[in-house]
C-alpha cells in the first residue's frame, strides 16, 4: 500500500490536501467510480440478484404444488399471480429514482444490487451515508472519497443488511414451529389472533398516515385510496363484476396516486 | 399418519430447508461482493474504520431486523418471510401483495392455505421488481425524465400513502370493534408525538401494536364467549 499526499489548489487561493491510497498503480481522486462502474463489478453484483430469482422460482413452484395439495383452484392461483404482477409494477418505479440518486456516489451496480436484494431505498441511502461519515467523510457526495473508502462502504452496506436473511436462517424454523404448534393446539382464538395481527400492523404502519399533518397531500391520497378500495369492493359485490374485486388494490392505489397529481395542481 | 399430514410435514420441511440454504447462500454471496472487488482491483481497506462503520450501521438497523423477524412471520408465513427478507421492500410491496393475494383468494390469514398463497404472491412480486430494476439500471437515462417529470412526481412521491390506504381500509373496516383500540392508540400516539417521530420508530412500535391488537382481540373473544355461554 502506498500513500501519497496531493496538494490541489484552486485558482492559487484555496488548497486542500488529499490522501490517496493505491496498490497496483495510481488511483486518482474519484477513479473509484471507474471501478464501481466496471464490468467486473457488474458480474459480481449480478450473482446475488440471480440468486433472488432462483429462490423466487423455487418458492413459487413449492407454493403452487402446495395449493394443489390443499385443493385450492388453479384459477385462484392464477388470480393471485396476476394481482401480484399488476400490484408490483407501480411501486417498483419509484425505486428506480432511488437507484439513480445513489449512482453518482456509488456507481451503477452497487445501488442496483442493494435495492434489488434485501432492499430498502431509505436504508441504503442512510447506510451508505453513515458508513462514509464513520470513515471521516462528509457523507454521500463527498468528492474526496477514495477507492478504499468505496470498498469499505460496500462492505458495510452488504454486511449490515445480513441481519435479515441471517435471522431467518438461524431462527425462523424454531419460531415457525412454536407458532404453528400454538395455532394447531389453540382454540378458535388463534384464528381471531391471526386477523388481529393484521389489524395491529395496519394501525401503526398505515392508519397513522391519516395524521401526517405536515403533508396534507399524503392525507388526501390516503383517504382517496382507502375510500376507493372500499367502494370498488362494494360495487364488485353489488354488480358481481369479480374483476373489480380482484384488482381493487392496484386500482385503488392508482386512484390514490392520481389524486396526488390533481391535488398538486389545485393547491 | 394421513397423506395430508405427511404432505404438510413435507411442505414445511422443504420451505425451511430451501429457505435456510438460499439465506445462507445469499449471506456468502454478499460477503463475496466487497471481497471480490478488493481482490479484483487490489484495493486495501482501513479495517478499523470499516469495523467502526459496520458497528454504527448494525446498531442502527440490527434492532429493526429483529423486530421485523418477530413481527412478520404470523402475517407472511415462513415461506413468505424467507422471500421477503431476501428481496426487501417489505412494507411497500411484499406485505401489500401478500395481503391482497389472501383477500382475492378468500383465504383467512393464519390458515394452512395462507402460506402458499403468500409465497406465490411474494415470489412473483420479487421477480417483477428485480426485472423492473434491471431495466431501470440499463434504461435509467431514458426512464428518469419520465419518472421525475413534474407532472408525475406528486404521484410517485405519495405512492406509500396510496399503497397503505388501499390495503388497510378493507382490513380495518372488516371488524370495527377489533380495529378500534389499536387505531385509537395509533392515532393518539401520532397526534401527540408527531407523524415523523412515529414513522422513525415504526419498526420498534410494530411488535408493541401487534401485542396490543392480539390482547384486545383476546378480550373481545372472551367477552363474546362469556355472552354466548350466558345465553345458553
pLDDT per residue over A166-216, tens digit each? 999 999 999 999 988 887 776 678 778 888 988 999 999 899 999 999 999
- The string of DSSP codes covering A172-185 is IHHHHHHHHHHHHH
CA trace torsion B174, B201, B147, A83 (10° rounding): -30
What span, in angstroms and rounded, lies between the C-alpha atoms of A158 and A153? 8
Q: What is the pLDDT of residue A30?
A: 59
Q: Using N-to-C axis directions, what is the helix angle for B47-87 and A39-69, rounded to 10°?
A: 30
Q: Using N-to-C axis directions, what is the helix angle for A248-266 and A74-106, rounded to 10°?
A: 40
CB atoms B154 and A209 under 8 Å:
no
CB atoms A95 and B148 under 8 Å:
no
What span, in angstroms and rounded, lies between the C-alpha atoms of A222 and A209? 7
- The string of DSSP codes covering A65-96 is HHHHHTT--HHHHHHHHHHHHHHHHHHHHHHH
Per-residue pLDDT at A64 exceeds 50: yes
A128 close contact with B: CB closer than 8 A: no
* Domain ranges for chain B: 175-232
Average pLDDT for chain A: 84
What are A175-184's contacts with CB under 8 Å, separation 24+?
A175/B69, A175/B70, A175/B73, A176/B12, A176/B16, A176/B73, A176/B78, A179/B73, A179/B74, A180/B12, A183/B110
What span, in angstroms and rounded, lies between the C-alpha atoms of B160 and A264? 16
Q: What is the pLDDT of residue A2?
A: 41
Cβ–Cβ contacts within 10 Å for residue A3, how many? 8
Decide: residue B197, CB within 10 A, 0-12 exposed, 13-18 middle, 19+ buried: exposed
Mean predicted confidence (pLDDT) in B216-229: 88
pLDDT per residue over B67-90, tens digit each? 889 889 988 999 999 999 999 888
Q: Which residues of chain A lie closer than 8 angstroms to B73, CB-CB?
A: 172, 175-176, 179
CB atoms B124 and A84 under 8 Å:
yes
Q: What is the pLDDT of residue B232?
A: 67
Q: What is the pLDDT of residue A187?
A: 63
Q: What is the pLDDT of residue A5?
A: 41
The pLDDT > 70 percentage for chain B reads 100
Smallest Cβ distance to B43: which of A148, A163, A257? A148
Angstrom distances, CA of residue A255 to CA of A52, B70, B144, B153, B183: 31, 33, 22, 15, 24
Q: What is the pLDDT of residue B37?
A: 94
CB atoms B116 and A225 under 8 Å:
no
- Short-list A151, A158, A142, A138, CA closest to A21: A151
CB atoms A131 and B57 under 8 Å:
yes
Cβ–Cβ contacts within 10 Å for residue B37, how many? 25
Nearest-CA distance from B6 to chain A in Å? 11
Q: What is the pLDDT of residue A12?
A: 34
Q: What is the pLDDT of residue A210?
A: 93
Identify which has the larger pLDDT, A4 or B83: B83
Q: What is the pLDDT of residue A170?
A: 96
pLDDT per residue over B116-155, tens digit each? 999 999 999 999 999 999 999 998 878 778 877 888 888 8
Q: What is the pLDDT of residue A11?
A: 36
Q: What is the pLDDT of residue A101?
A: 82
Q: Which residues of chain A lie closer than 8 angstroms to B32, CB-CB?
A: 44, 47
B83 close contact with A: CB closer than 8 A: yes
What span, in angstroms and rounded, lies between the C-alpha atoms of A246 and A266? 32
Answer yes or no: are the C-beta atoms of B68 and B206 closer than 8 Å. Answer: yes
Q: What is the pLDDT of residue B6?
A: 86
Mean predicted confidence (pLDDT) in B219-224: 91
Angstrom distances, CA of residue B90 to CA of A62, B5, B94: 21, 31, 5
The pLDDT > 90 percentage for chain B reads 57
Answer yes or no: are the C-beta atoms of B82 and A168 closer than 8 Å. Answer: yes
Sign, Cα dihedral of B98, B104, B108, B112: negative
CB atoms A87 and B125 under 8 Å:
yes
Which chain B residue's Cα is nearest to A229? B166
Q: What is the pLDDT of residue A154?
A: 93
Mean predicted confidence (pLDDT) in A42-68: 96
Cβ–Cβ contacts within 10 Å for residue A243, how many? 11
Looking at residue A169, the DSSP 8-state letter turns out to be I
What span, in angstroms and rounded, lies between the C-alpha atoms of A87 and A84? 5
Answer yes or no: are the C-beta atoms of A23 and B43 closer than 8 Å. Answer: yes
In this prediction, residue A100 has a pLDDT band, given cuts at 50, 70 and 90, of: confident
Phi, psi angle pair for B201, to nearest 5°: -100, 15
Answer yes or no: are the C-beta atoms of B166 and A225 closer than 8 Å. Answer: yes
Decide: residue A18, CB within 10 A, 0-12 exposed, 13-18 middle, 19+ buried: middle
Mean predicted confidence (pLDDT) in A51-79: 96
CA trace torsion A147, A152, A158, A164 (10° rounding): -160
Decide: residue A267, CB within 10 A, 0-12 exposed, 13-18 middle, 19+ buried: exposed
Q: Which residues between 5 and 34 in chain A have a beta carbon less than 8 angstroms from any beta carbon of chain B? A: 21, 23-24, 27
Q: What is the pLDDT of residue A131?
A: 83
What span, in angstroms and rounded, lies between the C-alpha atoms of A68 and A61? 11
Q: What is the pLDDT of residue A186?
A: 67
Scanning the structure block, which residue is given the C-alpha cell 355472552? Answer: B227
A77 close contact with B: CB closer than 8 A: yes
- Short-list B74, B90, B181, B196, CA closest to A203: B181
- Short-list A48, A56, A173, A83, CA closest to B119: A56
Identify which has the larger pLDDT, B27 or A96: B27
Residue B120 has which C-alpha cell? 406465490
Per-residue pLDDT at B4 exceeds 60: yes
Strand partners of residue A2? A22
Q: Look up the pTM and report it.
A: 0.82
In this prediction, residue B193 has a pLDDT band, given cuts at 50, 70 and 90, of: very high
CB atoms A212 and B195 under 8 Å:
yes
Provide the residue count of chain A. 267
* Domain ranges for chain A: 30-165, 186-266
Amino acid at each position: 500500500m502506498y500513500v501519497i499526499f496531493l496538494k490541489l489548489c484552486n485558482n492559487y487561493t484555496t488548497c486542500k490536501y488529499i490522501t490517496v491510497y493505491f496498490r497496483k498503480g495510481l488511483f486518482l481522486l474519484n477513479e473509484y467510480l471507474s471501478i464501481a462502474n466496471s464490468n467486473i463489478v457488474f458480474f459480481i453484483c449480478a450473482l446475488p440478484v440471480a440468486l433472488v430469482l432462483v429462490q423466487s422460482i423455487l418458492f413459487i413452484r413449492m407454493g403452487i404444488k402446495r395449493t394443489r395439495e390443499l385443493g385450492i383452484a388453479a384459477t385462484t392461483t392464477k388470480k393471485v399471480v396476476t394481482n401480484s404482477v399488476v400490484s408490483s409494477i407501480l411501486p417498483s418505479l419509484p425505486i428506480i429514482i432511488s437507484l439513480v440518486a445513489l449512482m453518482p456516489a456509488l456507481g451503477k451496480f452497487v445501488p442496483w444490487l442493494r435495492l434489488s436484494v434485501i432492499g430498502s431505498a431509505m436504508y441504503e441511502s442512510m447506510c451508505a451515508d453513515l458508513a462514509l461519515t464513520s470513515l471521516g467523510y462528509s457523507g454521500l457526495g463527498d468528492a474526496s472519497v477514495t477507492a478504499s473508502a468505496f470498498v469499505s462502504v460496500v462492505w458495510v452496506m452488504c454486511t449490515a443488511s445480513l441481519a435479515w436473511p441471517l435471522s431467518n436462517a438461524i431462527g425462523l424454523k424454531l419460531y415457525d414451529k412454536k407458532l404453528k404448534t400454538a395455532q394447531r393446539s389453540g382454540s378458535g382464538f388463534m384464528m381471531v389472533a391471526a386477523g388481529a395481527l393484521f389489524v395491529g400492523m395496519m394501525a401503526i404502519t398505515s392508519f397513522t398516515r391519516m395524521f401526517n399533518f405536515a403533508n396534507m397531500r399524503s392525507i388526501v391520497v390516503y383517504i382517496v385510496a382507502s375510500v376507493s378500495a372500499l367502494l370498488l369492493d362494494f360495487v364488485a359485490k353489488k354488480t358481481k363484476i369479480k374483476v373489480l374485486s380482484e384488482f381493487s388494490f392496484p386500482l385503488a392505489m392508482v386512484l390514490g396516486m392520481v389524486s396526488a397529481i390533481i391535488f398538486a395542481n389545485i393547491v | 399418519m394421513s397423506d395430508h399430514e405427511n404432505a404438510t410435514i413435507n411442505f414445511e420441511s422443504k420451505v425451511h430447508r430451501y429457505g435456510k440454504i438460499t439465506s445462507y447462500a445469499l449471506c456468502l454471496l454478499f460477503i463475496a461482493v466487497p471481497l471480490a472487488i478488493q481482490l479484483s482491483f487490489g484495493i486495501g481497506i482501513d479495517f478499523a474504520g470499516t469495523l467502526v462503520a459496520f458497528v454504527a450501521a448494525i446498531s442502527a438497523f440490527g434492532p429493526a431486523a429483529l423486530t421485523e423477524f418477530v413481527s412478520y412471520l404470523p402475517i407472511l408465513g415462513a415461506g413468505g418471510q424467507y422471500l421477503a427478507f431476501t428481496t426487501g421492500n417489505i412494507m411497500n410491496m411484499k406485505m401489500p401483495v401478500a395481503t391482497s393475494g389472501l383477500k382475492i383468494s378468500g383465504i383467512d390469514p393464519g390458515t394452512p392455505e395462507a402460506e402458499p398463497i403468500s409465497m406465490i404472491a411474494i415470489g412473483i412480486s420479487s421477480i417483477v421488481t428485480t426485472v423492473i430494476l434491471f431495466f431501470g439500471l440499463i434504461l435509467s437515462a431514458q426512464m428518469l425524465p419520465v419518472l421525475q417529470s413534474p407532472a408525475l412526481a406528486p404521484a410517485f412521491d405519495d405512492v406509500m400513502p396510496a399503497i397503505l390506504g388501499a390495503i388497510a381500509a378493507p382490513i380495518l373496516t372488516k371488524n370495527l370493534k377489533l380495529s378500534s383500540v389499536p387505531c385509537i392508540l395509533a392515532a393518539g400516539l401520532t397526534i401527540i408525538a408527531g407523524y415523523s417521530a412515529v414513522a422513525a420508530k415504526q419498526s420498534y412500535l410494530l411488535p408493541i401494536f401487534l401485542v396490543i391488537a392480539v390482547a384486545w382481540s383476546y378480550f373481545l373473544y372472551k367477552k363474546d364467549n362469556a355472552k354466548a355461554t350466558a345465553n345458553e
